[in-house]
Amino acid sequence: MTDHSQHRRYFSRRQPPQEDVEWYDEQDEDALLADEDWPPRTRTSAVRYQPTAHDAFHGTALVRTTTTTGGRMQGVPARRSILPPRHVGEGQVLPSPVRVEREPSQPPPRQRGGGLRSRWSVWVGLGMLIMLLGWVAFSSLENWWQTTQDDWRYGRPRTFQADAVVGHNHDAPDHPSHFLALNLNRHILVIELPADDPSKARIYSGPVLLGQGQELTPVTLSFQDVNGDGKPDLLVWVGDTHIEFLNDGGGFRPARPGEAVPVSP
């Protein structure tokens, strides 16, 4: 009986005052350690006291200590520590806390040469894009310049005029026949004033052009004997294509199949 009393007094002396000990379960301790409101750890200290048998199975004893930094008191949670198993009572053994250490995550190793290849691909793609934009800009500039030159030369609608002696209405070099060729909304028209006499004007209808922007295609005229009868025939040029009108002595008519011969521009 005396030994038991002495053992109880010894065990009581090892326990700290109850007002200085705070008991937390493991979830409360983890939340306490992960609290973002705590300032960075400086000089800290932690004291773990021997728990009783009842408290050992319901939580872990933590003692909150304070440290002075720059004249301010800061509360710092104490860290866990590995304790050897302790015999509390007869047949009871306290489990030792287990420290879990996490390895810091490491980024995957970078492949050699990957950055160089990616930079080369970026430069190649950028160069191809610049070439494409340059080609589009050059084509647009070329088309604009060609259209501007045609505007200066043929006007809008595209108009071409020519004088020629074709044997109509007694025309002659001093009073030749006058011809006008028009691209009127993609419809080709030729107007003849025999011997420059408007009262005897004739209109020859040509083809209708198809496609976007064809109303700006110039139309021109030339005169050449294509069937070998000694009379100049009328050739209507639209780009590199021509339409032949044969001279019948009083006017022009479209050539029938087999009547005309190939003519170079």
Q: Are residues 167 and 241 in the same domain?
A: yes
> Residue 108 domain-assigned?
no
Is the preceding omega at residue 157 within 30 degrees of 0, hence cis? Answer: yes
Query: How many domains in the chain?
Result: 3
147 located within any domain: yes
Measured CA to CA, the distance from residue 23 to residue 25 in angstroms comes to 7
- Is residue 45 assigned to a domain? yes
Looking at the structure, do residues 130 and 186 belong to the same domain, yes or no? no
Query: Domain check: are 165 and 244 in the same one?
Result: yes
Q: Is the same domain home to 134 and 89?
A: no
Residue 101 counted as domain residue: no
Question: Region 170-199: what's the mean pLDDT?
Answer: 96
The SS3 of residue 125 is helix
φ and ψ at residue 164, rounded to 5 degrees: -160, 150
Q: Residue 180: what pLDDT?
A: 98
**One domain for residues 193 and 141:** no
- Please list the residues that pair with 219 across neighbouring strands: 238
| 157 compared with 4, residue with greater pLDDT | 157
208 and 127 within one domain: no
CA 25 to CA 171: how far, in whole Å? Answer: 123
* 107 is a domain residue: no
Residue 188, pLDDT above cutoff 80: yes
Confidence of residue 263 (pLDDT cuts 50, 70, 90): confident
What pLDDT is recorded for position 66?
47
Question: pLDDT averaged over the chain?
Answer: 75
Question: Are 6 and 86 members of one domain?
Answer: yes
Does residue 224 lie within any of the structural domains?
Answer: yes
Q: Could you tell me which of 260, 248, 142, 169 has the C-alpha nearest to residue 204?
A: 248
Q: CA–CA separation, 96 vs 85, rounded Å?
A: 5
**Unique residue bearing structure tokens 């419809």:** 187
pLDDT score of 216 more than 70:
yes
> For residue 102, is it within any domain?
no
Nearby residues of 164 by Cβ (< 8 Å), 6 or more positions away:
176, 177, 179, 223, 232
Same domain, 55 and 144: no
Query: 113-159: per-residue pLDDT in tens?
Result: 556 677 888 888 999 999 999 999 999 999 999 999 999 999 999 99
Q: What is the mean pLDDT of residues 3-25?
A: 47
Q: Would you say the pTM of this structure is higher than 0.75?
A: no
- One domain for residues 136 and 163: no
Please state, for a pLDDT cut of 90, what percent of the chain lies above it.
Answer: 44
Segments forming the whole domain that contains residue 52: 2-93
